[in-house]
Chain A
Amino acid sequence: MWKFIVRRVFLAIIIIFLGSFIVYGVLRAMPTSFVEAMARQRAAASATTGGPTYQEWLDQLNESYHMNTNVVSGFLSWFGGVLRGDFGVSWKYGIPVTQKFGETIWYSFLLNIITVFLEVIICIPLGIQAARHQYSGFDYGITVFAMLCISLPTFFLATVLKYAFAVKLGWFDLYGLVGRYHQQLSQGRKVLDIMHHMFLPVLTLAMLNIGGLTRYTRTNMLEVLNADYIRTARAKGLSERVVINRHAFRNTLIPLVSYMSYLIPSLFSGSMITETLYQIPGIGYIAYDAMVAGDLPFTMFYSMFGLILTQISLMLADIMYAVVDPRVRVN
């Protein structure tokens, strides 16, 4: 087991290294970089005082951002900084990348944790009920609803919700995390204000994710319900409640937990489209802005963050399987 974990971690590190190299390579292909714009701006600002010219600024900035080298050595010097915990200063935001990350990640986390909580308490009962009454009208309804949720484009759902609840009904603000008078509110009201603004984004994310988990629960529950030990439990004369709750549901948990282990890292990854549409200052929105602006340090950080999260979730899935299912542990 330990040998497996060590190998897995080693592989993960290689993948993270190569993955960020690919992203770096693509990023460096951008012809008009943020650096040029910055140099032009600084040259214009210092033109009156006889400061450095555009070219001098450009050289200086390129030097400090390792942009004057080729892709490989540029990447290596960036990665060297990363190993020392230095992700550089964001070009767009002007503060260290990790500081910006620390400011924004909790908004994403808050958004996602509420969503996941909602998802779990909605999907698992729905999936189990649908499986228990297979081929019933309820089951068909759930299937169609789940499919519909999977098929909804994020941006369309968000726009429709905004149109209905913010524009037509006027219950919520169109954008942002806080209201106009947020600063004047008392502490408790501030929390309520944020919750109020979180409603539509959470609804959007929850609706998008409900379909997948419901179907997954239903499929796995059906599989368990068709198993021999369920027939045995019924044959023993156990009540249906006991059969479902103690025998069937517990076994359904195995695949569900592995599914959840994918969710845990995604709590931090942010949801780019939803955050951007609702202008929630989470990591997804901030990263989107940085990416569009060609902010190399922040984009690199975000991509690496994504790579690390994916690897962690894959490892977690493997480990969780072992935790939940004793048969895996024996092997």
Chain B
Amino acid sequence: MSENTTNINKEEEQLSLDDGRRVKVLSPGMMVFKRFIRNKLAIVGICTLFFMFAFSFLGGIISPYRQDQVFYKVDKANKEYAGAAVNTEYRFTSATDKPLSTMTRATFNSKVKNAAASEVTFQADGITYLASKVDDNFYVLTVGEEVGSVTVLGKIADVKPAAGVELSKAVTDAAVQAINKNQTSFEAEDCVFTLTKGAAKSYVLHRMSPVGLASMLNFAAYDAQNNDLVASFEFRKECETAMHKGESEFEVDGTVYTLEIEDETNADVLLNGDYVANVSNVIVNSVNVGVFLPIEYKAAAAEAIADKQTSFEYVNADGVTEKHTIQMRGNTYIISTEQETYLIDMYSPPSAKHWLGTDDHGMDVLTRLMYGGRISLLVGFVVMLLENLIGIVIGGISGYFGGWVDTLLMRFVDLFNSIPYYPMMIIAGAIMDSFEVDPYVRLYMMMAIMGIMGWTGVARVVRGQILSLREQDFMVATEATGIAVSRRIFRHLVPNVMPLLIVQATMGLGSIILAEATLSFLGLGIKYPLASWGSIINSSSNIYVMTNCWYLWIPAGLLIVLTVLGFNFVGDGLRDAFDPKMKR
């Protein structure tokens, strides 16, 4: 009750007309202000706009980040680590220091590879080679050296050594026996000899000595000091022969090695329980330059590939178990593993560090919104001022002078008014795109074009108002006192149009911001590294961003809506305040 009483008292107080109050009431500016602040929606609008300005202009200062600062993160990324391939080419090992000639290898590959026969002879560089197949993966190449000739007379075979060669009794006996048995080759003294039919009833005797190996398997030593041993002809020959035969031991130079056979193309060689070499038909290489893959890794990878597994684990030098995945791509395998990588922190969700996450460039969204707000508001104000400048001048002149000037200028206004706005802006944007205009220049160009395209409304309002004001008494007075024409227009007429213009401009600001946002959204407005709210929402045209990263585009959209709404509320409130008769 008591509250009510005081209220009534207050009202009574206000109703009394003392001098102070009368002056207040008579001040038109104050009247407008009082009417304005009584409008709740307008106050909401003003508060929104204050927030937006603070957010955009102060926010940029407060924010610890720059608008084009890119953030990085250290993350585990699945990266290609090694490549592997099943070897389909023969690798050649020479028994001597001299490697097998290119011609020999090429001829082998063309003649022997895929040949069905287990022994194939071929000629290269004038030498006759004999390739004996051990299995599909392994051939031994031998070369015959002419050591003598055998002449057959009836039942008697006579072995005659070649010049400078001595043949032991065992060899000659074996040769004779072979001829009697109609064999073309025989073994004696750990050597293979062949008999080639020469002239009538005579044979040429060749001593075959192995000169090389052709193998699909790849040998790798576990310890670098064993490299020479593992690469040696003897070692490889014995090892592969043992592998072919499925033996668990072989002997080289008096040392007995143990063989652990996984399958016919994959085995490990041990000496006294220590791994010496790995044999495999899978070749594993590092994809990164300068990274040396340890043999253990290669062996593990080769084994996994041979077993057709899709992943394997490997304990690295630091004792950490790494998981590697194998992907087959054509004939090759890609081995990838999770590695620590320095990445651009893209599309990161909101966190304490980035309140609204980061965008597709790894930039802080909140900071970009702040700087984008500057651009959006700046564009709004500059374009609005430009429109009003052109509109007031042309509308003022047109309305004041009337007659043919008015007709001409108004037709000009009609013309500009009917040029389609968006097509024009889009064409302009495309032109600037193809000239690759600097983003800052582009910003100014855009403001200029938007101003030029949008002034006609202002010109119409100014002209219409001036047409009616011109007939009023105060204008007659200005004419009578001889005030200059330009002064009459811009000092006496235009200020009277101002209230309406301010209302229109406030409402117009909203639509300018919308137009700029739309153009930027289409990618024809503000360009990177500059940001505007529209260009930030542009990222939502990517379906992934739209569906998964709400924090990238919804805040920007809300800022636009709130700002435009704020301008509309304030414009509405101003209109009501300036002219209460128009209050609807």
Residues of A within 8 A of B (CB): 11, 14-16, 18-19, 22-23, 26-27, 29-32, 131, 134, 140, 143-144, 147-148, 150-156, 159-160, 162-163, 167, 174, 218-219, 222-223, 272-273, 276, 287-288, 291-292, 294, 299, 302-303, 306-307, 310-311, 314
Contact = CB atoms under 8 A, between A and B. Distances in A.
B127 interface: no
23 contacts: A11-B411, A14-B411, A15-B418, A26-B431, A30-B430, A32-B434, A131-B584, A147-B41, A148-B565, A151-B564, A153-B534, A156-B537, A156-B561, A159-B546, A159-B553, A163-B546, A174-B543, A287-B423, A294-B430, A299-B423, A299-B427, A303-B424, A314-B418
Q: Is the interface of B mostly helix, strand, loop or mixed?
A: helix
Contacts of A273: 422, 518, 522
A18 B424 contact: no
Contact of B418 (A26, A134, A311): A311
Nearest to A273: B518
Contacts of B561: 148, 151-153, 156
B464 interface: no
Contacts of A143: 41
B568 A31 contact: no
Choose among B417, B424, B569 the residue with the greatest number of A CB atoms under 10 Å from its CB. B424
A195 to B, nearest CB: 24
B357 interface: no
Choose among B41, B435, B514, B550 the residue with the greatest number of A CB atoms under 10 Å from its CB. B514
A26 B427 contact: yes
A68 to B, nearest CB: 20
Contacts of B41: 140, 143-144, 147
Contact of A31 (B422, B423, B435): B435
A159 to B, nearest CB: 5
Contacts of A310: 417-418, 420
Interface in B494-510: 510
Contact of B547 (A144, A151, A167, A306): A167
Listed from nearest, the 5 A-B pairs whose CB atoms lie closest are: A156-B557, A306-B420, A151-B564, A151-B565, A310-B418
A278 to B, nearest CB: 12
Contacts of A288: 426
A170 B553 CA distance: 20
B47 to A, nearest CB: 15
A150 B514 CA distance: 10
Nearest to B425: A291
B438 interface: no
A294 B428 CA distance: 11
Contacts of A150: 510, 564, 568
Nearest to A300: B423
Nearest to A163: B546
A278 B327 CA distance: 39
B535 to A, nearest CB: 11
Given A147-B568, A153-B517, A156-B557, A19 B430 contact: no
Contacts, number: 129
Choose among B419, B514, B534 the residue with the greatest number of A CB atoms under 10 Å from its CB. B419
B208 to A, nearest CB: 57
B313 interface: no
A272 to B, nearest CB: 6
Interface residues of B, number: 42
B87 interface: no
Contact of A303 (B417, B423, B510, B517): B423
B540 interface: yes
B38 to A, nearest CB: 12
Interface in B171-199: none
Contacts of B521: 153, 155
A26 B453 CA distance: 13
B364 interface: no
Contact of B537 (A32, A159, A299): A159
B419 A22 contact: yes
Given A151-B568, A160-B557, A162-B546, A23 B423 contact: yes
B430 to A, nearest CB: 6
Contacts of B518: 153-155, 273
A159 B554 CA distance: 9
A163 B540 CA distance: 10
B359 interface: no
Contacts of A163: 546-547, 550
Contact of A307 (B420, B430, B560): B420
Contacts of A292: 426, 430
Contact of B569 (A30, A147, A299): A147
Nearest to B537: A156
Contacts of A223: 584
A15 B411 contact: yes
Choose among A18, A222, A307 the residue with the greatest number of B CB atoms under 10 Å from its CB. A18
B414 interface: yes
Contacts of A219: 584
B387 interface: no
Choose among A18, A147, A153 the residue with the greatest number of B CB atoms under 10 Å from its CB. A153
B97 to A, nearest CB: 54
Contacts of A156: 517, 537, 553, 557, 560-561
A287 B514 CA distance: 21
A325 B569 CA distance: 33
B303 interface: no
Given A287-B423, A306-B423, A30 B546 contact: no
B415 interface: yes
A15 B565 contact: no
A19 B537 contact: no
Contacts of A29: 431
Given A11-B411, A307-B420, A291 B427 contact: yes
Contacts of A306: 418, 420, 423
Interface in B392-424: 411, 414-415, 417-420, 422-424
Interface string B541-565: 0010011001001100100110011
Contacts of A19: 415, 418-419
A160 B415 CA distance: 36
A15 B414 contact: yes
A33 B497 CA distance: 46
A129 to B, nearest CB: 14
B426 A307 contact: no
